[in-house]
Amino acid sequence: MPYTYTVIINKDIADTGSYTYSFRSTKKISMDIRKNRAKLSLSMSVFKSCEDFLNSYLFRDAAKKMIMLHSILYGSRLVMKSVTLRIDDNEYTLNKADEGFPRLITILPKTGPGLPEAWKEKEFIQYLLTCTKKGGEKDQRFSAIESFLASKGKEYEIDIFTNLWTSMNAYYTYVATSCNNYLAGMIEDKKDFPELAGNDSDCINLLVRLMNKNPDIHRVEVGEKSSEMFHKIGTEVVSLSDEELIKLYEKAREELTNGSKGNDRLKAKFPVFQKLASENSVDLFFLILLVFPYLCRCAFLHGKRPTLLTFFENEYEQRYLNKINIILNRYLSEILTSTFDPDEYGAELIADCYAKSFGKKDKRKKAANMLKNILDTSD
């Protein structure tokens, strides 16, 4: 006979079954989140005491999800003041001062993560609930989301950047992995297939080529810049106000989306940035989104570099990071709620972009031809 378990955080909620998910063998777990309260309902064939249930992996996983979803949906932490557990007709209540009360520690911000409305859509929330811990280790998009949310609870620019760049790193790896899996499903003999190597530069170049919808663009050399070039870009970035920087971001992304349309207007408004983009053989959008942040990653987060323990407010490190964080935060907040769908790009484009971004150079042409033959055969 199954046992019914109901967990009420702070105050009860009318049963609506807003979200459902599974945890290991336990199916159809129902979760509801409201302002300053939450509820969990499930059935199990195993009886657990109040203490055992509140110490179970299932409850701990659920409590962490409640905290995260409350922050996303209501812009504040869910402060747990009381926990009521009902097991069939028996009820147990623990208050914050009681022994055995589940105490969670979170790095999420107390208030205002400032997320777009897309983060609150049911389909996205359902994805966050469905992704298990084990699945999250394999799904880099989930890793990107958690790192992005972690940045919202940080005070210092270097800590914010650490989380935002980790999120970006996970995102472009997620895109590359999605393409790898998509193409691998078409290939029987993988001997010459350029497998995903996990190299940052390769993953970044694949993302750039896909966003450009052009496999033949120049390879973006994110890690091969002189100190002079690094500071030339940085000097121009910090010369802009926050509003001007966002305008540059929007215009550059619009230009990328529309091809050459609007390019002359962008050159006229930001001539120095366009010159720097040309010098680095990259679109302006990728100069500020990937090239400059990657250089900062190498300068400030590399194992060979000293950690920024102390710095003055007007030092270049602090000013560079402040501007970079604005760009990364904007892009990631917009892109992370959308799944990467290879079919939107088409197998031929992905195959071409992939083959020219991964593997040893002498194998790329061979791999590209192999993929092309497979695609021609499938037609």
Domain assignment present for 126: no
Domain assignment present for 307: yes
Q: What is the pLDDT of residues 26-69, one digit of tens each?
A: 999 999 999 999 999 999 999 999 999 999 999 999 999 999 99
C-alpha pair distances (Å), 344 with each of 33, 62, 333, 347: 34, 34, 21, 9
Q: Is the pLDDT of residue 21 over 90?
A: yes
Report d(CA 358, CA 180) in Å as an integer.
Answer: 10
Same domain, 232 and 327: yes
Same domain, 70 and 209: no
Same domain, 168 and 76: no
- Three-state DSSP at 26 gives strand
Of the pLDDT bands very low, low, confident and very high (cuts 50, 70, 90), residue 347 is: confident
Domain assignment present for 355: no
Same domain, 140 and 253: yes
Same domain, 7 and 86: yes
Same domain, 150 and 297: yes
How many domains does the chain contain in total? 2
Q: What is the pLDDT of residues 157-201, one digit of tens each?
A: 999 999 999 999 999 999 999 998 888 777 766 666 666 656 888
| Strand pairing report for 82-87 and 90-95 | antiparallel
Of the pLDDT bands very low, low, confident and very high (cuts 50, 70, 90), residue 221 is: confident
By percentage, how much of the chain surpasses pLDDT 90?
60
Q: What is the pTM of this model?
A: 0.91
Same domain, 236 and 327: yes
Domain assignment present for 101: no
Same domain, 56 and 149: no
What count of other Cβ atoms lies within 10 Å of the Cβ of residue 23? 18
Domain assignment present for 351: no
More confident residue, 348 or 48: 48
* Residue where a domain terminates, one of 40, 65, 95: 95
Label residue 201 exposed, middle or buried (CB < 10 Å: 0-12, 13-18, 19+). middle
Same domain, 158 and 239: yes
3-state secondary structure labels for all residues of 227-240 = HHHHHHHHHHHHCC
Domain assignment present for 14: yes
Same domain, 247 and 298: yes
Mean pLDDT score, 207-211: 93
Of the pLDDT bands very low, low, confident and very high (cuts 50, 70, 90), residue 363 is: low
Report d(CA 27, CA 21) in Å as an integer.
Answer: 7
Of the pLDDT bands very low, low, confident and very high (cuts 50, 70, 90), residue 310 is: confident
Same domain, 240 and 326: yes
Same domain, 83 and 141: no
Residue 282: domain span: 135-342
Label residue 40 exposed, middle or buried (CB < 10 Å: 0-12, 13-18, 19+). buried
Domain assignment present for 359: no
